[in-house]
Structure 1
Amino acid sequence: MPTTVYDPPELEPGTLRVTPLGGLGEVGRNMTTFEYEGKLLIVDCGVLFPEEHHPGVDLILPDFEPIKHRLADIVGVVLTHGHEDHIGAVPYLLKLRQDIPLIGSSLTLALTEAKLKEHRIAPYSLTVKEGQREQVGPFDLEFVAVNHSIPDALAVAIRTPAGLALATGDFKMDQLPLDDRLTDLRAFARLGEEGVDLFLVDSTNADVPGFTPLERSIGPVLDQVIAKAPRRVIVASFSSHVHRVQQVLDAAAANGRRLAFLGRSMVRNMTIAEELGYLHVPEGVLIDYKKARDLPDDRIVYMSTGSQGEPMAVLSRMANLDHAIEVGSGDTVILASSLIPGNENAVYRVIDGLTKLGANVVHRANAKVHVSGHAAAGELLYCYNILQPRNVLPVHGEYRHLNANAKLAIDTGIPADRTIVGENGTVVDLRDGVARVVGQLDLGFVYVDGSTVGEITEADLKDRRILGEEGFVSVIVVIDTATGRIISGPDIHARGVAEDDAVFEAVKPKIAAALLESVQSGVRDNHALSQIVRRTIGRWVNQSLRRRPMIVPLVIEA
């Protein structure tokens, strides 16, 4: 069913308004606004990575339109952790107002500030840690430690006179975490005793039964794979996955290998993590990648970006023989990360390309080289039973994830009418312990394309898809509009449609006849004549060549 768009009413005094601007119905661009007494608090501000049907797009941002005219009302942005889908859009928000305070843990802010530096933005930031409480405008914030696939992740409890909301960010309940930092279930229980009025909970693994495997179960597998590798080892992961990089560093050291980072974001993020003490590099293991090329093949491990098949990332360039390191027979490539929905084709294309070059590609489907950073159904059930929230708004996931999460909530006794499966732009008001949907905003996708932000439209992307899939045809005709006689042309040039432009000789008489008939019928407008040329050649190409290319006609009046 199509979404019914309707404006919310004016916010009543004593009511907390919650509006997700991204992250619902998708895995990425997580962003939620909380409004109370005229002030706005934002939790997370991330990006969504483009898929194959977004040709030329670099990033996809949340739609800031509902808050653009209220930038002065924003009292802060809470960043739950340092992954791109939660911090990647911060530079674009701060370009609208640079002094919006950023609130987050030490590592989260360090990764965000490094990103902002590239945009020449010096932010105002407030570093917080678990157990800390801060009053930010009318919002009383308490930060709770949660375990995730990056250190220093935090949930945030948001207190207002309207009630208590708890946003988990991304989390899981690993009982033996690599950094010994558990999800603080004691704090969850305490908040449950106080009374959680609205629970905004990570949904990414809600449709996965049981419990997410332990992160430390990956280390021995990586160690075994590296130990058996006859030549070079290349491990691809997210550039912010500190825990996974730590495991690869340890495995490299255990097997007498050096490790080199590949990719600008990997080098930047791991340098920050090491400086802050979140990454512990064994002595003598790290080496600059230029010097690493002088080492014997069986003494080196490369840690790279590109685990999602991104076209410009290191691993894709290796698969396309467009990188200084040429993958060959005997090399081992490990994809040590999850598959983000929508990236499957791109990832398998990279796997095929590397396999064709002779590499042994190890990935989640054939070895336990990755575990998720998100709570599975069993862990979510524990949270619902501990917290017993009055209302639930599943966030962070595609629709199947949100629905699965909502079902878990209902199974634990939360009434179905208090469990809201929303979408981006769903406006939820919390008052007197009851959460109600009061509006649905019309939100879109904001595309970053090179140096432009928000200028690329769906129509532009459709044109790009047509160009990429169906080809391009240009037609130039010089015509005497008094008589309809063609003075020059039609000159037809095509790209990606047919092997030889000579195939279009058959349609030229049809174009001439259609123009003559139109002029004799009184048509004189160049645009109208151009559309006649477009329809004539378009119909012929579709019938004769079974193609629907982009057609650009130009009728010139003599």
Structure 2
Amino acid sequence: MSSKKLKIIPLGGLGEVGKNMMAYEYGEDILIVDTGMMFPDNDMLGIDYIIPDFEYVRKRKDMVRGIVFTHGHMDHIGAVSHIVEEISAPLYATPLTRGLIEGKLSEDKLLNKVDLTTIHAGDTFNVGVFKVETFHVCHSIPDTVGLGISCPEGLVVHASDYKFDPTPVDGWPTDFAKLADFSGRGVLALLADSTNADQPGWTPSEKELDTALDKIFQTSPGRIIIASFASLVSRMMQVAKAAERHGRKLAFVGYSMIQNSDMAQELGYLNISSDVLVDLNQALSMKPSDVVLMATGSQGEPYSIMGRLSRGTNRRFGLLDEDTIVLSSHTIPGNEESVYQTINRLFQRGVNVVYAPLSHIHVSGHAKQDEMKLMINLTKPKYLIPIHGELRHLKQHAILAEESGFFGENIAVVENGHIIEFQDGKMTIGERIPGGYIFVDGVRVGDIGPSVVREREALAQDGVMAISLVLNHKGQLQTDPEIASRGFLYKYDDSDIIEETRKKVINIAKSTQGDLHDQVVKSVRSFLYSKTKKRPVVLVTLNWI
């Protein structure tokens, strides 16, 4: 009986969509897979993005032997700068993923501080005690790989984002042979994507997008502006081919879109004819019906190109009456409100907007139910651990497995922080460690906690009232209280309530023998709620003279 255990520690991506990060620990060695970020919810005011709570591996940073990336989407690489600032370990990534990581590290002036190794699908390499075998999988970005991770406890297949696309844009289908090879050797556990576990059937092929693009190009009288993720290189290629078929010129707009398209062309993942690709200045000087622009902002981000266009604040160019806007991506859960607001603002500005589900302008990069069953049947694992999805997705993945004949007791549906342990071929659920959110707010990382976010929400919802008291050495008021409110009362209708509040504060100051600050806050809150049914934040300052 071995005294060592294989520990699988989900630090992000289980119980949520985004910030995917997994740690594998055996003995004195830790292997990390992916370091992603996620978008904040609409009520997380002022938060730029969220990264995993990686305190567990930070405390054991001397044990981390390497970080392997499955692909270049931000929910898998977006936290890389924050991780490498704390943990010095080699990074392993395929060429396109490496290029995207290098872009992020360069922006944060960290590129020269990391050891970054290029890997390819089909490679085998060692990371400490772990033997890692990469295999190609189809996804919505080229150069995506799954991992076979072997250690003395057995073989684990880490099937990150994937789908079984028979006609992918790059002509490179998922490696069925490798999955069958793993099955023949015996798979201890399968960790597999659950994002579309509640959607029946098969995910359509990326090729089907060509038909929708052709229809848009044929029916749009003016410019076509397509919004997508800057990392969707395959979508760039499809738009470029559509532009060529329909005699239009293509220009990329925005720093990240231009940077990623240039990098993809240099690496050979994006081949666009020089007769088709032009810069933005050229495109803006051309006849609108001869132009297609590709930009960011499909998630309604306020400072993206599309966000600024919808508000009329984009500097380089504005919208024209006959423009057609195409949102070519899936709305990430939590972004629905901002996306719909952007669509409504675009319609208000008089342009046509094409978006899913009205048009099949986006194809998911994630497997649906039948593909998930196929992955289980191909690998034949002893244990299944659904990953990448909200709890409802993970649970549905487990139900699908049981419907396929999988034993329920061999499935671990867990959320972030629940450590899964394997010893002598048996799986158990171990301790739970912190697996929550680390908020990034400007240059501050982890300094903003849930309480601050709640305070911001309260300020946004009911506003604030500020009360300033000037007291002498005996604690008596020297002047009438100064009161101001913001986001609470309309300035032309607040005089009565302000005056009543002032009188109430004066009476409290005269009668209170205890903590004047707390008494004023509590009494004013109660008074304002009785008058307005609102609960503004009440700030009281005491000035002694």
TM-score range, shorter chain: over 0.9
Corresponding position of 2:534: 547
Q: What SS does structure 2 have at the residue aligned with 1:327?
A: coil
Structure-2 separation of matches of 1:547 and 1:455: 29
CA RMSD of aligned residues (A): 1.4
Structure-1 separation of matches of 2:435 and 2:363: 33
Structure-2 separation of matches of 1:489 and 1:288: 63
Residue number among 104, 128, 132 corresponding to 2:93 in the alignment: 104
Measure how far apart 1:481 and its partner are: 6.1
Structure-1 separation of matches of 2:230 and 2:367: 21
8 Å Cα contact 1:46-1:85 kept in structure 2: yes
8 Å Cα contact 2:12-2:435 kept in structure 1: no
Measure how far apart 1:12 and its partner are: 7.0
Measure how far apart 1:372 and its partner are: 0.2
Corresponding position of 2:313: 322
Corresponding position of 1:5: none
Aligned-partner residue type, residue 498 of structure 1: L
Residue number among 106, 111, 135 corresponding to 1:117 in the alignment: 106
Residue number among 385, 395, 407 corresponding to 1:415 in the alignment: 407
8 Å Cα contact 1:31-1:44 kept in structure 2: yes
Deviations 1:114-156 (A, max 9, x none): 1111111122122221221112210011111100000010000
Give identity over the alignment, percent.
Answer: 37
* TM-score under structure 1 length normalisation: 0.94
Structure-1 separation of matches of 2:81 and 2:29: 21
The 5 A counterparts of 1:178-257 are: 178-257=169-248
Structure-1 separation of matches of 2:200 and 2:290: 40
The 5 A counterparts of 1:356-375 are: 356-375=348-367
Deviations 1:132-182 (A, max 9, x none): 111221001111110000001000000011011110110000111111111
8 Å Cα contact 2:230-2:256 kept in structure 1: yes
Aligned-partner residue type, residue 434 of structure 1: K
The 5 A counterparts of 1:32-47 are: 32-47=22-37
Corresponding position of 1:154: 145
Residue number among 75, 84, 101 corresponding to 1:85 in the alignment: 75
8 Å Cα contact 1:198-1:435 kept in structure 2: no
Deviating 4+ runs (over 6 angstroms): none
8 Å Cα contact 1:250-1:282 kept in structure 2: no
Structure-2 separation of matches of 1:516 and 1:106: 73
Deviations 1:264-312 (A, max 9, x none): 1111111111111111112321111123211111111110101011111
1:536 matches 2:520: no
Structure-2 separation of matches of 1:235 and 1:90: 28
Structure-2 separation of matches of 1:133 and 1:490: 73
* TM-score under structure 2 length normalisation: 0.97
Structure-2 separation of matches of 1:510 and 1:481: 22
1:336 matches 2:333: no
Aligned-partner residue type, residue 512 of structure 1: I
8 Å Cα contact 2:2-2:423 kept in structure 1: no
Aligned-partner residue type, residue 539 of structure 1: S
Structure-1 separation of matches of 2:537 and 2:360: 46
Aligned-partner residue type, residue 167 of structure 1: H
1:165 matches 2:159: no
Corresponding position of 1:516: 510
Q: What SS does structure 1 have at the residue aligned with 2:440?
A: strand
1:432 matches 2:424: yes
Aligned-partner residue type, residue 531 of structure 2: S
The 5 A counterparts of 1:121-136 are: 121=110, 122=112, 123-136=114-127
Deviations 1:379-417 (A, max 9, x none): 001111121110111110111110111111122222111
8 Å Cα contact 2:2-2:424 kept in structure 1: no
Corresponding position of 1:76: 66
Measure how far apart 1:227 and its partner are: 2.0
Structure-2 separation of matches of 1:86 and 1:480: 59
Measure how far apart 1:207 and its partner are: 0.8
8 Å Cα contact 1:394-1:421 kept in structure 2: yes
Deviations 1:20-66 (A, max 9, x none): 00001111100000001211000010001112111111110111111
Measure how far apart 1:432 and its partner are: 2.2
Structure-1 separation of matches of 2:15 and 2:311: 32
Aligned-partner residue type, residue 537 of structure 1: V
1:137 matches 2:128: yes
Q: What SS does structure 2 have at the residue aligned with 1:487?
A: coil
Corresponding position of 1:55: 45
Structure-2 separation of matches of 1:427 and 1:63: 14
Q: What SS does structure 1 have at the residue aligned with 2:363?
A: coil
Structure-2 separation of matches of 1:544 and 1:327: 46
8 Å Cα contact 1:231-1:297 kept in structure 2: yes
Structure-1 separation of matches of 2:353 and 2:62: 51
Structure-1 separation of matches of 2:281 and 2:456: 38
Q: What SS does structure 1 have at the residue aligned with 2:485?
A: strand
8 Å Cα contact 1:171-1:374 kept in structure 2: yes
Aligned residue pair count:
539
Measure how far apart 1:444 and its partner are: 2.4
Corresponding position of 1:8: none
Q: What SS does structure 2 have at the residue aligned with 1:392?
A: strand
